[in-house]
């Protein structure tokens, strides 16, 4: 049952253009004269407009509307702390009758012409009980194909169906800038990458600050045919241009968002990666070495522009078993190693010692020779010289 409520009118001005009718100055309106029924005037942070307006002589004698008005559509938009996009309001009738315009989902809106002339635009009022739901509707983002609250999650046999919507806490997003023409990026390879990193939108004064770039790192000395460093006329060592960094993908040597951000790329491709703080430096951040290089604040979303220059396989010595990532036991002891002494008792396999001698294989140490992680992770990335 609807209960009459005290009407509170807050001026919200919306102007609409009429073909062949110039806009007229907006005069202040009297809240008292517009206060009727159960309507409340639209708050200032919500703007509405009608479109495709046409006028015809009125026979209703309504002093507020001197002519009958028909409209093609109505749109509204919320501003303020939680802004939304402009949304179409479905109408159940096109005619403004007795100062009322009927909508399909939010009841009737009361429209009053500014300065008594509909050519100048309207003030909008909504039924007070509808205002809260209407504001929520305007502030809700438009659903997309990737909206996890819309797309169902497939469950394997034996897993019971859960109740409630499925939501995503955070996600790694990317924007393709240039599609590469080379081979697909493969997991576990040594990637050679150029990158530039910025702080994302975190609601702080330093949003957008560039904290590191491989293009800012000094190049390597250029060697002549005799293996000596080339020098210029002043005797200074000649350096190459900026060098890309290298890292082994999938080994955890970079922040997770950076490590996973190359999936689906091709050699020669360029991509912008949007990394949430949960996949970057987390709730702690990464302090910098000095005031000139403040590092990464806590809970910072990051943006990286990356270019995948090349990828190579890790070189393995002959007869070396496949390399796997080993996890230390929870008790921190190397007991499995001592329990594995039978392997050392099988001294006949001293022939296998080449495998330990082949430890220079600590594979692809090229990946660490150009301080990969320190450069790739904005960890030391935040320490440009």
- Range in 14-28, 141-155, 291-305 with the lowest mean pLDDT: 14-28
pLDDT band with cut points at 50, 70 and 90 for residue 14: very low
Enter the pTM of the model.
0.47
Which pLDDT score is estimated for 34? 56
Of residues 369 and 184, more confidence is placed in: 184
**What's residue 59's pLDDT?**
45
Is 24 within 8 Å of 117 (Cβ atoms)? yes
Confidence of residue 296 (pLDDT cuts 50, 70, 90): very high
Cβ neighbour number for residue 143 with a 10 Å cutoff: 10
For the cut 90, the answer to whether the pLDDT of residue 300 exceeds it is yes
What domains, with CATH codes, occur in the chain? 13-139 (no CATH), 173-319+360-381 (3.10.50.40)
For strand 13-14 and strand 122-127, is the pairing parallel, antiparallel, or unpaired? Answer: antiparallel
Closest C-alpha among 223, 263, 262 to residue 244: 262
Place of tokens 């330093």: 206
How confident is the model over 242-262, as a mean pLDDT? 94
Tokens 């012409």 — which residue?
A: 113
The answer to whether 302 and 280 have CB atoms below 8 angstroms apart is: yes
Q: What does the block give as tokens for 317?
A: 């010595």
Q: Is the pLDDT at 194 greater than 90, yes or no?
A: yes
> Which residue is listed with tokens 């000139």?
292
State how far the alpha carbon of 174 is from the alpha carbons of 84, 257, 273, 317, in Å. 23, 10, 4, 37
Match 């241009």 to its residue by tokens: 241
Tens-digit pLDDT profile for residues 111-170:
888 766 666 678 899 998 889 889 888 887 765 544 444 557 888 999 998 888 888 888
More confident residue, 137 or 353: 137
Distance (Å, rounded) from C-alpha 258 to C-alpha 274?
A: 9
Between 63 and 321, residue with greater pLDDT:
321
Assign residue 138 a region: left if phi > 0, alpha if psi is -120 to 50, beta otherwise? Answer: alpha
- Give the residue with greater pLDDT, 166 vs 358: 166
Q: Residue 234's pLDDT is what?
A: 87
Distance CA 48, CA 222 (A): 66
- pLDDT exceeding 90 applies to what percent of the chain? 30
């Amino acid at each position: 049952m609807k209960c009459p409520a005290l009407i509170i009118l807050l001026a919200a001005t919306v102007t609409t253009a009429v073909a062949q009718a110039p806009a007229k100055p907006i005069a202040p309106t009297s809240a008292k004269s517009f206060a009727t029924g159960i309507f409340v005037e639209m708050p200032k942070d919500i703007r509405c407009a009608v479109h495709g307006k046409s006028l015809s002589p009125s026979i209703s004698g309504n002093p507020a509307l001197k002519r009958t008005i028909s409209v093609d559509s109505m749109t509204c938009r919320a501003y303020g702390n939680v802004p939304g996009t402009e949304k179409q309001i479905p109408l159940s009738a096109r005619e403004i009758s007795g100062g009322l315009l009927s909508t399909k989902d939010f009841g009737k809106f009361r429209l009053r012409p500014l300065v008594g002339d509909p050519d100048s635009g309207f003030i909008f009022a909504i039924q007070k009980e509808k205002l809260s739901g209407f504001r929520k509707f305007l502030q809700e983002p438009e659903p997309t194909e990737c909206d996890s609250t819309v797309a169902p999650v497939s469950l394997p046999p034996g897993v019971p169906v859960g109740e409630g919507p499925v939501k995503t806490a955070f996600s790694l997003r990317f924007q393709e800038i240039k599609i590469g023409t080379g081979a697909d990026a493969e997991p576990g390879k040594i990637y050679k990458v150029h990158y530039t990193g910025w702080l994302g939108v975190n609601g702080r004064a330093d949003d957008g600050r560039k904290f590191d770039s491989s293009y800012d790192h000094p190049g390597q000395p250029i060697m002549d045919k005799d293996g000596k460093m080339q020098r210029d006329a002043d005797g200074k060592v000649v350096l190459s241009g900026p060098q890309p960094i290298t890292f082994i993908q999938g080994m955890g040597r970079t922040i997770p968002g950076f490590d996973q951000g190359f999936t689906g790329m091709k050699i020669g491709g360029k991509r912008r990666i949007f990394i949430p703080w949960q996949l970057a430096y987390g709730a702690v951040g990464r302090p910098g070495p000095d005031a000139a290089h403040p590092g990464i604040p806590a809970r910072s979303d990051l943006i990286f522009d990356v270019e995948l220059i090349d990828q190579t396989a890790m070189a393995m010595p002959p007869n070396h078993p496949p390399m796997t990532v080993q996890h230390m036991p929870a008790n921190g002891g190397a007991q499995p190693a001592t329990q594995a002494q039978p392997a050392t008792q099988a001294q006949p396999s001293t022939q296998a010692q080449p495998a330990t001698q082949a430890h220079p294989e600590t594979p692809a140490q090229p990946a660490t020779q150009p301080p990969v992680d320190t450069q790739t992770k904005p960890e030391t990335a935040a320490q440009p010289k």
